[in-house]
Structure 1
């Protein structure tokens, strides 16, 4: 995200950038003007434009400032280290011979250090802040500034010995890779900034509006939450993500954008995953405290915090998949503080997996698709219904329904305005499951074990609050047939079931706008 405001970090960087240059004016190499007379006008215009824009942008966005500790500080420290090296390269010049050779000397193997180092430092500062404006301006500055001094050095070395062609090709290749990476990240940050400016930034301009991401002390850990809404007088709505350990706080804005007029929407990275896990990794690296019972207490403590913050005494709970198991349990046991409960892709029973398997097998056989892997997973699950075999079978089934929308994201998480470096670190842990599913699942072993042996009907069917359900017609993870059966069996103050056509297990991701409309209709019909 980008936020306007004074940046003291930007000011420090600019002082570090310009102070040596001011001293240099009276300490130029004797023959520098000979080289500067023939500077390329196009490169010079790039340099001038880059200088002005980088200076302005560095000062007017507060995102460059230091904030609550996260692993994104690694990028900031690298950036600041490059600025320190930049100062050292100038000190070497000022205390040494003031010649063109010394002026264009390298440091730690970095060529044209006085031109390259500040450009690299400001690029990393842009990555740290997720600010595409600084990234683009720095690239423009780099083209002009580094280009000019590269030409100068090339002229200086004309009479020098010819370089090794192999080394030169390698450097060109590495530079091309670096340029490609910078371009990719700049484009991604540009999309993220656009998404924030076009939608989310409108929230903070409203009086009484909330668009806040913060860590809250819950159960001995600092847990990450996001709060979004246009009027704090609106009802509180707590979104519980699925999984277990499938946080979606970075992308809930895709549907909450359409809810913030009527509700204050709170999403939360639950204990043991996402930013919450990364923040507390040193405290609880193996997720010993991440249990279902602890999650219930975490919800209670989170709601205590929210009730106090917004002067409320009740909340609407909306849970997805595993989150619907959490939500149903909490709503059944705490009707005094839960005004309504909605299950999205409601989890009912582990036996639903067998139902989904048979449906998938029947569908695949009609299309003559290879089902050998799925059948092998089922045989293993029949012999041992452990959580590992359950997850493997579920994944094998899902492969046959990707076209129906399951797990299909129209906009990847990393283009979200709310996606941070800690989200990236968690996603890297998730990606490790491709190579080692056991280690990934073991990280939240207690939750997966609980899921593998729990039927929501065992909690009871007497709700003393209004209850709603939203399911995709193509949901083969928590199949609609089981949701319908559960819906018939429960007693509630009022109840409502909505089926979203052409959607799978995650309608909020597959069709966020339509989902928000359906959710509002369900809640309005229940109240």
Structure 2
């Protein structure tokens, strides 16, 4: 009887001990969650950071705004930044499609604001412009072309400039070059950064390169993961592959930036560090990116051959291309540029960059902007 009592006591003691441990663990998790949420909120005041002079006061003549404007019946958000608002206006079209990238400028300043009044517009259904009530059927490439023209006209009128500059990055270049072809009278020049051309062909080349590189590195696990998606045989690129592709590309330095080896720490975590977005706006960055409509637009982008759609521009055109870029293949873009007709052309190779030369080699970008783009020349170009 004594042994049975002792056993029952031991079991009860063990259960109480487990209960105390679980309580402590849950308490730690709860406290950690509150601390993490508090840090995120502290890092998310959501106010645009002003340009300041040597005395710490707002720089006279500068502009730093975060505003919403009604564009074709939908309130859409944008940052407008410039050290001198009398400078020429530049409309920046972000990529994705569906993922604004203004937040990257806090960690990787471009210096664009030294030469332009820059409008970082966040397209309908994304970031600052995210709204679950916006009908998905209105989020189409044709609608974004119309929206871009409307935003351009808003900027022209507001800043009293007959023409502005247009820059498209990655998915934004798919949009931008079509806008430049359709409404050249609005723009001084078009700048394509990581310019798209034949994107499905680009995906196939990237797939082949990744298989070769991971095979060479004897990373059998990654090779096996990639081989589950025989991209050259597909007519579309499934979302499951896109997620794997992003991880695999960044590890090889052929993704967002050549020196950015992780899409999680380099992109996802960095997006939550910007102080100019509120926490809800940061969450909306990813809600918009993962919306079903932008997934559909991505598929449409894969099916489109820009070399057949836009063969001529009636304004100067400049391509900024990272030699390590396999997201939008460098070689395919160069081939597109050589066939593209324009009054002035300039192709610029960035040897230390992958997909984002404006963030990776900003000093070279500034030199090109100052000496070529703003003067309508192509003296520094690799190919003219």
- Please state which band the TM-score falls in when normalised by the shorter chain: 0.7 to 0.9
The corresponding residue for 2:355 is 505
Q: Deviations over 1:502-521 (max 9, x none)?
A: 32222344455665555555
The corresponding residue for 1:463 is 313
Cα 1:520–1:377 change in 2 (3 A) is farther
Q: 2:164 aligns with which of 304, 312, 315?
A: 315
Q: 1:523: how far off? A: 2.0
Partners of 1:515 and 1:406 in 2: how far apart?
19
Cα 1:430–1:270 change in 2 (3 A) is closer
| Larger relative contact order (CA 8 Å, sep ≥ 6) | 2
Cα 1:274–1:443 change in 2 (3 A) is same
Q: Is contact 2:288–2:294 with CA below 8 Å preserved after alignment?
A: no
Q: 1:399 aligns with which of 213, 235, 247?
A: 247
Q: 2:192 aligns with which of 338, 343, 351?
A: 343
Q: 1:304 aligns with which of 153, 169, 176?
A: 153
Cα 1:190–1:323 change in 2 (3 A) is same
Map 1:446-461; keep pairs closer than 5 Å: 446-461=296-311
Partners of 2:79 and 2:106 in 1: how far apart?
10
Cα 1:352–1:425 change in 2 (3 A) is same
Q: Is contact 1:405–1:510 with CA below 8 Å preserved after alignment?
A: no
Partners of 2:293 and 2:300 in 1: how far apart?
14
Q: Is contact 2:99–2:285 with CA below 8 Å preserved after alignment?
A: no
Partners of 2:211 and 2:372 in 1: how far apart?
33
1:281 has 2:147 as partner: no
Partners of 2:254 and 2:57 in 1: how far apart?
33
Partners of 2:183 and 2:43 in 1: how far apart?
41
Q: Is contact 2:254–2:327 with CA below 8 Å preserved after alignment?
A: no
1:216 has 2:69 as partner: yes
Q: 1:192: how far off? A: 6.8
Q: Is contact 2:110–2:358 with CA below 8 Å preserved after alignment?
A: no
Q: 1:343: how far off? A: 0.7
Partners of 1:368 and 1:270 in 2: how far apart?
42
Structure number with the higher helix fraction is 1
Q: Deviations over 1:131-182 (max 9, x none)?
A: xxxxxxxxxxxxxxxxxxxxxxxxxxxxxxxxx9999887766664455445
Gapped runs of 5+ residues in structure 1?
1-163, 432-439
Q: 2:208 aligns with which of 348, 358, 370?
A: 358
Q: Deviations over 1:354-381 (max 9, x none)?
A: 12222222222222222122222125x6
Gapped runs of 5+ residues in structure 2?
1-15, 261-265, 378-384
Cα 1:255–1:341 change in 2 (3 A) is farther
1:495 has 2:353 as partner: no
Map 1:23-34; keep pairs closer than 5 Å: none
The corresponding residue for 2:283 is 425
Partners of 2:288 and 2:164 in 1: how far apart?
31
Cα 1:495–1:255 change in 2 (3 A) is farther
Q: Is contact 1:468–1:522 with CA below 8 Å preserved after alignment?
A: no
Please identify runs of 4+ aligned residues in structure 1 that moved more than 6 A: 164-172, 189-193
Q: Is contact 2:210–2:248 with CA below 8 Å preserved after alignment?
A: yes
Cα 1:340–1:262 change in 2 (3 A) is same
> Is the partner of 2:166 in helix, strand or coil?
strand
Q: 2:84 aligns with which of 231, 239, 247?
A: 231
Map 1:52-63; keep pairs closer than 5 Å: none
C-alpha RMSD of matched pairs (Å): 3.2
**Normalised by the size of structure 1, how large is the TM-score?**
0.59
Partners of 2:362 and 2:291 in 1: how far apart?
28
> Is the partner of 1:399 in helix, strand or coil?
helix
Larger radius of gyration: 1
Partners of 1:430 and 1:322 in 2: how far apart?
14
The corresponding residue for 2:271 is 413
Q: 2:94 aligns with which of 241, 244, 247?
A: 241
Q: 1:430: how far off? A: 6.8
Partners of 1:512 and 1:178 in 2: how far apart?
42
Partners of 2:371 and 2:254 in 1: how far apart?
22
Q: 1:342: how far off? A: 0.8
Q: Is contact 2:194–2:328 with CA below 8 Å preserved after alignment?
A: yes
Q: Deviations over 1:249-307 (max 9, x none)?
A: 33345556612222101111111222212xx31242xx210011100110111112111
Q: Is contact 1:232–1:264 with CA below 8 Å preserved after alignment?
A: yes
Q: 1:485: how far off? A: 0.4
